[in-house]
């Protein structure tokens, strides 16, 4: 999709569960080569 997992926002809820994950962020992984934006497929 041209995006990678760049970070997870973890919120302290006092419990050890998946409920403390406040958000997941994705960002495009692209590099500029030869006057064109290329999507990086492997990181």
- pLDDT tens digits, 1-43: 455 555 655 555 555 555 545 555 555 667 777 888 777 665 5
pLDDT at 41: 62
pLDDT at 20: 45
The answer to whether the beta carbons of residues 18 and 24 sit under 8 Å apart is: no
Domains of the chain: which residue ranges? 3-39
The answer to whether the beta carbons of residues 33 and 39 sit under 8 Å apart is: no
Cα distance between residue 11 and residue 6, in whole Å: 17
């Amino acid at each position: 999709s041209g995006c990678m997992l760049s970070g997870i926002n973890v919120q302290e809820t006092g419990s050890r569960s998946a409920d403390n994950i406040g958000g997941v962020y994705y960002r495009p992984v692209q590099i500029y080569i030869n006057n064109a934006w290329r999507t990086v497929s492997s990181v």
